[in-house]
């Protein structure tokens, strides 16, 4: 049968299966191949907290969505065009993500009586008309995989583990992707296990060949490369970018990087990555708990390192007292919070932006901490670099906010040249003449960094209130107020040291959509869509949450309406209303999922009228 | 160490003050380690003696003053760093050990002391304490044990004896106390010792050994709180009773005690028992000979604590060698640089699969 090729501008695919089916790996491979082929893209891993949840259950379903195209891609896609479902539960959980008329590729072996029962299907959906509004492709992936490996005498367990590569091979054929980079990856990954490598490659090719030969698939699609800026690219997740940004900051500060951390989802990958970078002089310390993670970093900072602790919401709560100590002793420290659904243990593997107020106010006493937030996976690099710069220049702990969506999501990233990054080396105090631990720089109000080992600068710091200038313990009432105001003023003055905020779109108009963090892509897509429709709407995305940039008030006052879209109950909106007294309205979603751009578009329509 | 820190330290070396430099320099004394801050412990507090003995032994260590750091948590003992003319950090409750760990990893060149108490180190900071010891971070810990909460005005502590009546236990405490030396041994601490505030000579000797030990040194220091728990250790520290109640541990020597040196510790199976050297039934040859390298013996001796019929051992229970955490961390980095070459930022940023768009 003749096969035809159609060209597409963008596609969203969702791979779904049991949490042990290797769906994250399949998605990552498809992503890397698409990135190398020049597509712009954005991804959304969606996996359960259980490592190997009972097979076939609804709560054990793991998904990975990728949105790729020849145009600019800012979100992982509101809905998918194609759903690959390895079993009945995967179909059941993910069907609502599929567009009407979309395609479903199912592994029929995953629809036996037991699977159907676990997924809560009374009848097999493949055998009735419940899926009639979709195009369904039924393939017995398990059987075809087994046949492909029949002569290898591998245990069935191993054979079963390769079936995701059959699905990947089919998808590579349908979307006209090269299988080479995945083959390279397999060979590298299973260097010492030749038979496993061979099995995976065979199954991958079998999937490809099956799609090409069988009559099931008659159309294949071409998604041309996107027009991206010139340069060298790699695919990067937010957590990878955060790790790289920290190494870059230490390098540009000519300091050693020290990470004190305790494993926690979804932040652990930063600890893993940094632990690999020993040849870059990075010291990583897996502490006994979150508190030791941050306090060991404070100790390293006292010694003159660029000190970092990484965590997620519950861990940040545990570090609270120590961050207050860092505020008091005025030492540089970067606290990385990859936010997840809360409160308490909450939704460990799902995303949320509900730690902004914790970052702002979650300490005893008046303890202001600067906050920087990243907007895309690649931007995590620059934002954590900026957080480090501020920490070193202003001698203060700085909170860097990312989230599970950014941390695990990925996009193609234009690799910066090291020369393009600014020098951020601090100046250590060495002159003993006239040294006092709490003398401040006139402009920044930062105190000086005097590290142990420097003769004549022996001094004591601590959590008790400090006397202005000398740093001696002081219970004097006026001194306490002066010090509180000085510490607050120091943080406020960071606003003099950061660029002004920029509006995307017109600087005046009917509606400004304000966001921060990982909502950038969804808001941008929605605002662009509405602007194309002729609506007077612009976007303001905040990277600096504390202090706010100096022109934020001015920008807000230029719009008739202000909409603040957040993955929480309305946290930034509280800060903006309190500071600028604007009648902003909120768009809030708290489902552990990022915004769909359509949800933001709907809200824009609601405010501005129209469809 | 980083380029910047290296530079600071080499400049510092060139400009080194006489402190700790014995050759041709003025002799350093205890006074050089006294800061300008008034010492504010209660009059008569055992802390004064510990401060004085520490300041007394530091000049003998031949470590420049600027390389020394005293780190503390919260509690009476934790005011210690303010009184030391070294670098110091009075941190938050229980976390001094974790701060010290981070500092030692970042700066293996420093000599780091942790000053803590039975509440700070064994209650709120118990977790960090055991992990510091199992990792063998090269830090010296002095745990002031006064068996009471002093700074919060007299609640029982994790080392208070069962039945203790305090403000928070008006009907007597129902907690069993920690035995700090046994806890340290159980945490694989490489140097474990005990001394007493009212025995300055012994304390000096123990602190010196602790300072010289490579790896975590844990010194439990019996300390009298004359306000909230006066006399807790008087049976061990006062002239009239001391000799009968204290067993001084000395490496290579038989365990003998008593005013007349007429009693010793004999091992009956695994159980230490007191035998008389006068009754003709036992001689010195029947006694345990102390061996700091013997971890099994260290456990047996530490477990003599709180046993009414046995004297209380003080001295060095254990002193063994094991590679330190900070040493191994630096080594891993060295090895990685040797094997893979020193990483450059450019190489790192372009690692993994890349592609170029023309």
Q: What is the pLDDT of residue A1?
A: 55
Interface confidence, given as ipTM, is 0.96
User: What does pTM read for this prediction?
Assistant: 0.94
Q: Give ∠ CA A528-A529-A534 in degrees, rounded to 5.
A: 90
- Cis omega (within 30 of 0) for bond into A157: no
**Min distance B132 CA to chain A CA atoms (Å):** 9
Q: Which residues on chain A are in Cβ contact (under 8 Å) with B20?
A: none
pLDDT at A452 over 90: yes
- Secondary structure (DSSP) of A548-601: PPTTHHHHHHTEEEEEEEESSSSSHHHHHHHHH----EEEE--SSSPPPHHHHH
> Which of A293, A463, A318 lies closest to B102, judged by CA?
A293
Q: What is the pLDDT of residue A333?
A: 98
The architecture in CATH of the region A503-608 reads 3-Layer(aba) Sandwich (3.40)
Domains and CATH numbers, chain B: 3-237+323-349 (3.40.50.970)
Contact at 8 Å (CB) between A535 and A604? yes
Q: What is the pLDDT of residue A394?
A: 98
Q: What is the pLDDT of residue B13?
A: 64
CB neighbourhood size of B357 (10 A): 15
Q: Is B129 on the interface with A (CB under 8 A)?
A: no
Determine the average pLDDT of the residues in B162-168: 96
CA distance A67 to A50: 26
Name the average pLDDT for chain B: 94
Q: What is the pLDDT of residue B19?
A: 47
Q: Contact A230/B86, CB-based, under 8 Å?
A: no
Instruction: Please state, for a pLDDT cut of 90, what percent of chain A lies above it.
Output: 95
Identify the band that residue B236 occupies on the pLDDT scale cut at 50, 70 and 90.
very high
Which spans in chain B are helix H?
3-14, 47-57, 96-106, 118-119, 126-135, 180-186, 200-212, 234-237, 239-245, 295-302, 325-340, 345-349
Q: What is the pLDDT of residue B21?
A: 47
Contact at 8 Å (CB) between B196 and B233? yes
Identify the band that residue A175 occupies on the pLDDT scale cut at 50, 70 and 90.
very high
B-interface mutation test, from A299, A382, A410, most B Cβ less than 10 A away? A299
CB-neighbour burial class of residue A192 (10 A; exposed 0-12, middle 13-18, buried 19+) = exposed
Q: Contact A460/B82, CB-based, under 8 Å?
A: yes
Identify the band that residue A47 occupies on the pLDDT scale cut at 50, 70 and 90.
confident
Determine the average pLDDT of the residues in A229-237: 93
CB-neighbour burial class of residue A364 (10 A; exposed 0-12, middle 13-18, buried 19+) = exposed
pLDDT at B271 over 80: yes
pLDDT at B15 over 60: no
Q: What is the pLDDT of residue B14?
A: 60
Residue B161: both structure tokens together: 């004896």
Residues A286-345 have pLDDT tens digits of: 999 999 999 999 999 999 999 999 999 999 999 999 999 999 999 999 999 999 999 999
A234-420 and A503-608: same fold?
A: yes
pLDDT at B16 over 70: no
Determine the average pLDDT of the residues in B242-271: 97
Residues A387-432 have pLDDT tens digits of: 999 999 999 999 999 999 999 999 999 999 999 999 999 999 999 9
Residues A472-519 have pLDDT tens digits of: 999 999 999 999 999 999 999 999 999 999 999 999 999 999 999 999
Residue in chain A nearest B101 by alpha carbon:
A296
Q: DSSP assignment, residue B290?
A: P
Q: What is the pLDDT of residue B7?
A: 78
Q: Which residues on chain A are in Cβ contact (under 8 Å) with B40?
A: none
Q: What is the pLDDT of residue B26?
A: 63
Q: Give ∠ CA A254-A260-A265 in degrees, rounded to 5.
A: 120
A234-420 has CATH 3.40.50.970 classification: yes
Residues A141-153 have pLDDT tens digits of: 999 999 999 999 9
Residues A561-584 have pLDDT tens digits of: 999 999 999 999 999 999 999 999
Residue in chain A nearest B96 by alpha carbon:
A295
Residues B94-104 have pLDDT tens digits of: 999 999 999 99
Identify the band that residue B22 occupies on the pLDDT scale cut at 50, 70 and 90.
very low
Q: Give ∠ CA A104-A110-A112 in degrees, rounded to 5.
A: 120
Name the average pLDDT for chain A: 96
Q: Which residues on chain A are in Cβ contact (under 8 Å) with B65?
A: 455, 458
Q: Is B106 on the interface with A (CB under 8 A)?
A: yes
Q: Is A17 helix (H, G, I), strand (E, B) or coil?
A: strand
Q: Contact A300/B106, CB-based, under 8 Å?
A: yes
Q: Contact B4/A253, CB-based, under 8 Å?
A: yes
Q: What is the pLDDT of residue B70?
A: 98
**Min distance B63 CA to chain A CA atoms (Å):** 11
Of A20-24, A171-175, B211-215, the range with the lowest mean pLDDT is A20-24
> Which of A434, A474, A563, A460 lies closest to A511, judged by CA?
A563
Q: What is the pLDDT of residue B12?
A: 66
Residues 35-54 of B with CB under 8 A from A: 35, 37
Q: What is the pLDDT of residue B25?
A: 52
Query: What are the boundaries of each domain within chain A?
Result: 4-223, 234-420, 503-608
Residues A535-551 have pLDDT tens digits of: 999 999 999 999 999 99
pLDDT at A53 over 80: no
Q: Contact B102/A300, CB-based, under 8 Å?
A: yes
Q: Give ∠ CA A572-A574-A580 in degrees, rounded to 5.
A: 95
Q: Which residue has the higher pLDDT, A610 or A495?
A: A495
A-interface mutation test, from B324, B336, B357, most A Cβ less than 10 A away? B357
Q: Which residues on chain A are in Cβ contact (under 8 Å) with B8?
A: 304, 428, 430, 451, 453-454
- Cis omega (within 30 of 0) for bond into B85: no
CATH top class, domain A4-223: alpha beta
């Amino acid at each position: 049968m003749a096969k035809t090729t159609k060209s597409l501008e963008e596609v969203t695919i969702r791979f779904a299966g049991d949490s042990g089916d290797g769906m994250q790996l399949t998605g990552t491979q498809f992503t890397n191949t698409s990135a190398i082929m020049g597509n712009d893209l954005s991804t959304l891993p969606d996996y359960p907290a259980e490592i190997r949840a009972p097979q076939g259950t609804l709560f054990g379903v793991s998904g990975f969505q990728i949105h790729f195209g020849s145009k600019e891609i800012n979100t992982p896609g509101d809905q998918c065009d194609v759903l690959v479902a390895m079993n009945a539960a995967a179909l059941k959980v993910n069907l609502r993500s599929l567009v009407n008329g979309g395609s479903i590729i199912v592994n029929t072996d995953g629809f036996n009586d037991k699977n159907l029962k676990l997924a809560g299907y009374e009848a097999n959906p493949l055998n009735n008309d419940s899926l009639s509004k979709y195009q369904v492709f039924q393939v017995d992936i398990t059987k075809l995989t087994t046949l492909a490996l029949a002569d290898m005498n591998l245990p069935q367990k191993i054979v079963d583990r390769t079936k995701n590569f059959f699905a990947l091979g089919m998808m590579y054929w349908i979307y006209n992707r090269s299988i080479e980079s995945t083959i390279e990856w397999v060979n590298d990954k299973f260097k010492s296990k030749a038979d496993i490598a061979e099995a995976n490659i065979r199954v991958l090719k079998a999937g490809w060949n099956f799609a090409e030969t069988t009559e099931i698939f008659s159309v294949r699609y071409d998604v041309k490369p996107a027009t991206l800026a010139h340069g060298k690219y790699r695919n990067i997740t937010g957590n990878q970018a955060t790790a790289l940004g920290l190494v870059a900051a230490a390098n540009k500060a000519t300091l050693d990087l020290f990470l004190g951390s305790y494993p926690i989802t979804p932040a652990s990958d930063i600890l893993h990555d940094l632990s690999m970078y020993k040849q870059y002089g990075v010291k990583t310390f897996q502490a006994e708990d979150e508190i030791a993670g941050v306090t060991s970093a404070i100790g390293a900072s006292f010694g003159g390192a660029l000190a970092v602790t990484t965590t997620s919401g519950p861990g940040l709560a545990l570090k609270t007292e120590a961050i207050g100590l860092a505020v008091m002793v005025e030492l540089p420290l970067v606290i990385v919070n990859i936010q997840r659904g809360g409160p308490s243990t909450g939704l460990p593997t799902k995303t949320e932006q509900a730690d902004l107020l914790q970052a702002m106010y979650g300490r005893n006493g008046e303890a202001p901490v600067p906050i920087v937030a990243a907007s895309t996976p690649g931007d995590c690099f620059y934002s954590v670099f900026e957080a480090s710069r501020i920490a070193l220049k202003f001698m203060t702990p700085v909170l860097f906010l990312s989230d599970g969506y950014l941390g695990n999501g990925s996009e193609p990233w234009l690799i910066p040249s090291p020369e393009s990054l600014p020098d951020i080396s601090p100046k250590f105090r060495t002159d003993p003449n006239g040294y006092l631990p709490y003398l401040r720089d006139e402009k920044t109000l930062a105190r000086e960094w005097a590290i142990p080992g420097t003769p004549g600068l022996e001094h004591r710091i601590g959590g008790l209130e400090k006397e202005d200038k000398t740093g001696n313990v002081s219970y004097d009432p006026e001194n306490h107020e002066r010090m509180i105001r000085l510490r607050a003023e120091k943080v406020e003055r960071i606003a003099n040291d950061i660029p002004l905020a920029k509006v995307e779109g017109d600087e005046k108009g009917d509606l400004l959509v304000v966001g921060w963090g990982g909502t950038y892509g969804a808001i941008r897509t929605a605002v662009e869509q509405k602007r194309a429709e002729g609506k007077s709407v612009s976007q303001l995305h905040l990277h600096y949450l504390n202090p706010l940039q100096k022109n934020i008030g001015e920008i807000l006052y230029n719009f008739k309406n202000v909409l603040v879209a957040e993955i929480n109950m309305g946290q930034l909106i509280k800060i903006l209303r309190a500071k600028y007294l604007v009648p902003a309205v909120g768009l809030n979603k708290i489902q552990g999922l990022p915004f769909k751009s359509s949800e933001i578009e709907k809200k824009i329509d609601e405010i501005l009228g129209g469809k | 160490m980083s380029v910047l820190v290296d530079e600071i330290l080499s400049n510092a070396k060139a400009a080194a003050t006489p402190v700790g430099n014995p050759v041709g320099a003025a002799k350093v004394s205890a006074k050089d380690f006294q800061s300008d801050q008034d010492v504010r412990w209660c009059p008569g507090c055992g802390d004064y003696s510990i401060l004085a003995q520490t300041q007394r032994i530091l000049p003998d260590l031949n470590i420049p003053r600027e390389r020394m750091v005293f780190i503390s948590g919260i509690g009476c003992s934790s005011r210690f760093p303010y009184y030391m003319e070294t670098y110091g950090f009075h941190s938050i409750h229980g976390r001094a050990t974790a701060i010290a760990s981070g500092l030692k990893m970042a700066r293996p060149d420093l000599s780091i002391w942790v000053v803590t108490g039975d509440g700070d180190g064994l209650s709120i900071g118990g977790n960090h304490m055991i992990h510091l010891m199992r990792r063998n971070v090269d830090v010296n810990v002095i745990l002031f044990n006064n068996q009471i909460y002093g700074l919060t005005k007299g609640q029982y502590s994790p080392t208070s004896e069962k039945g203790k009546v305090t403000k928070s236990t008006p009907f007597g405490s129902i907690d069993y106390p920690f035995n700090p030396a046994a806890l340290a041994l159980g945490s694989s601490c490489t140097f474990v010792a005990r001394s007493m505030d009212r025995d300055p000579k012994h304390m000096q000797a123990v602190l010196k050994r602790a300072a010289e030990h490579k790896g975590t040194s844990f010194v439990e220091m019996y300390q009298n709180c004359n306000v909230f728990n006066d006399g807790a250790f008087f049976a061990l520290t006062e002239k009239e009773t001391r000799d009968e109640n204290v067993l001084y541990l000395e490496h290579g020597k038989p365990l003998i005690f008593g005013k007349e040196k007429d009693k010793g510790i004999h091992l009956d199976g695994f159980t230490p028992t007191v035998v008389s050297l006068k009754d003709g039934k036992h001689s010195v040859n029947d006694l345990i000979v102390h061996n700091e390298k013997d971890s099994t013996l260290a456990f047996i001796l530490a477990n003599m604590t709180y046993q009414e019929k046995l004297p209380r051992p003080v001295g060095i229970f254990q002193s063994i060698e094991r590679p330190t955490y900070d040493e191994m961390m630096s080594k891993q980095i060295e090895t990685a640089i040797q094997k893979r070459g020193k990483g450059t930022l450019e190489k790192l940023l372009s690692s993994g699969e890349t592609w170029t768009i023309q």
